[in-house]
Amino acid sequence: MRFGFHISIAGGFRKVVERALAKDCNTIQLFSRNPRGWNFSELDKDDVYEFRKQIEEAQISPVVVHMPYLPNLATINKVEYEKSLESLISELKRAQVLEAQYLVMHIGKRLEATEDQALAQVIKGINTAFKKVKNDVILLLENTAGMGSEVGYNFHQIKTIFDGVIEKDRLGVVLDTAHAFEAGYPIHTQDGLDKTLKEFDKLVGLKRLYLLHLNDSKTDLGSRIDRHWHIGEGKITREGFRIIINHPLLKHLPGIMETPRKSDADDLKNMKVIRSLVNNQ
């Protein structure tokens, strides 16, 4: 398994690879712009060129772009929906320019909508974006913890989205371990993980799983409260992560950590722990 972190783009993309290598990453996730606002500037060609050159030289793969925080395709508010759709369209284009293989999207919050309405909105948005943008970037739906009005916390909901998307080959899933655990999937035990993956395969298909978000959970199994924690220090436990990253159906996937950080020391600690759990035999 290739491991990495979400890396800051502060100061430009040309600084990303240096930061990634300092944390022993061989895969990375990043934002293409400020994740907390709607406005953004065009990508700087020289900055992007240097980034892509450094990525190739460092043999970092895959490169994953994460959508900003504000877009919510699940809403039935017309203004917010249109802004969210335009964000998805622009991020698909920007991910291609950055030569990223994947774009991660939070499925969204239904707010005042019903679950069926919310999922229908997500399907409509993805189909529209795919129709407007033709490229090789695979959009990855991130399972949620089910906190508040979040949709996408169970595999049946994710299946519904896949069933409605026309260009299914352009769509995949990133499985967040903390979110799955918090949503009630007992992935911290061998039997629980086996049953979870069997259900995922039946409803969505393991061929649609492209990436793992490796995060421990500060809250209990089925809590529906989204709180990421350090690898092996939360409720999933160190043994739980050993089971996950060595599972024959998962160990070929890249794993990105979105663990809490006050400094690089936190990332280095989490990388050391996750690598120590890999079975070498």
Residue with tokens 């989490």: 270
CA distance 154 to 144: 8
Stated length of the chain: 281
Whether 281 shows a pLDDT value over 70: the answer reads no
Q: Which residues are catalytic?
A: 36, 66, 69, 106, 142, 176, 179, 213, 226, 228, 258
pTM, two decimal places = 0.97
Token pair of 253 as six digits:
């996937």
Q: Is 72 exposed, middle or buried (0-12, 13-18, 19+ CB in 10 A)?
A: buried
pLDDT at 27: 98
pLDDT at 280: 74
Those residues with Cβ within 8 angstroms of residue 264's Cβ, 6 or more apart along the chain or in another chain: 22, 23
Please name which of 199, 203, 216 lies closest in space to residue 259, comparing C-alpha atoms.
216
pLDDT digits (tens, 9 = 90+) for 207-263: 999 999 999 999 999 999 999 999 999 999 999 999 999 999 999 999 999 999 999
CA distance 185 to 195: 9
pLDDT at 31: 98
Q: Residue 11 gets which letter from DSSP? A: T
Whether 16 and 58 have beta carbons less than 8 Å apart is answered as: no
pLDDT at 5: 98
pLDDT at 39: 87
pLDDT digits (tens, 9 = 90+) for 155-214: 999 999 999 999 999 999 999 999 999 999 999 999 999 999 999 999 999 999 999 999
The structural domains of the chain, ordered by start, are: 3-276 (3.20.20.150)
| Three-state helix/strand/coil letters over 141-188 | EECCCCCCCECCCCHHHHHHHHHHCCCHHHEEEEEEHHHHHHCCCCCC
pLDDT digits (tens, 9 = 90+) for 13-44: 999 999 999 999 999 999 999 999 898 899 99
Those residues with Cβ within 8 angstroms of residue 213's Cβ, 6 or more apart along the chain or in another chain: 142, 174, 175, 176, 177, 178, 179, 255, 256, 257, 258
> Which amino acid is residue 218, in one-letter code?
K
